[in-house]
A and B are shown apart, each in its own frame.
Chain A
Amino acid sequence: DAGVTQSPTHLIKTRGQHVTLRCSPISGHKSVSWYQQVLGQGPQFIFQYYEKEERGRGNFPDRFSARQFPNYSSELNVNALLLGDSALYLCASSPGAGLPEAFFGQGTRLTVV
């Protein structure tokens, strides 16, 4: 079975631009969560989606948005990029909205210049 897949793996953007990151969960998983990991720190929660609805949001500005599609894949969008948005963006999937084990993808490395 394929694990959580994220695309692209690496991305370089200029300040002020927009970026879209994509995530496909493990087959059968209906919940997708997004995390931001700055170098040297643990991941920080951004969003959780379950059954195409937002179920949780972390302390991130409105420039960050996400959505989940009928096939349970997800997109994370970031507008008006800042240098501080440079990070590894991780997607996690789990079977439901509750409290099961989370499985992570390999991440998208975003560099803002």
Chain B
Amino acid sequence: KQEVTQIPAALSVPEGENLVLNCSFTDSAIYNLQWFRQDPGKGLTSLLLIQSSQREQTSGRLNASLDKSSGRSTLYIAASQPGDSATYLCAVRTGGYNKLIFGAGTRLAVHP
């Protein structure tokens, strides 16, 4: 059974810091991995999608890497800003249909 774990559960950093959020999964047979952002009480905003054949994806200040063999992904946020404060979720897709298995998320607070 696929399980997704995110560490740390919560993180508080001063503005301007570079930070890394971690995601691990137990079954390396994934099709792709997707990182999302969720503001309190809101829906999910897709940040990055990495296919199983890719090693990393970049969008602006965000960079996500994937090491399928070790069951790990990292989300790197450069020069963090207070507006980055949110919960970050990673999810893997393992089946032939569009079922995502999510971690519990990392709650990030960036303070001025």
Contacts and interface: CB of A to CB of B under 8 A. Distances in A.
B42 interface: yes
Interface of B: 4, 31-32, 34, 36, 41-46, 49, 89, 91, 93, 95-105
Contact of A56 (B42, B46, B97, B102): B97
A45 B4 contact: no
A88 interface: yes
Interface residues of A, number: 32
A42 B95 contact: no
Contacts of B41: 88, 109
A57 to B, nearest CB: 9
Interface in A67-92: 88, 90, 92
Interface of A: 4, 6, 31, 33, 35, 40-45, 48, 50, 55-56, 58, 88, 90, 92, 94, 97-107, 109
Contact of B98 (A41, A102, A106, A107): A102
A106 B31 contact: no
Given A42-B103, A42-B105, A56-B99, A99 B43 contact: no
A90 B46 contact: no
B98 A56 contact: yes
Nearest to A46: B99
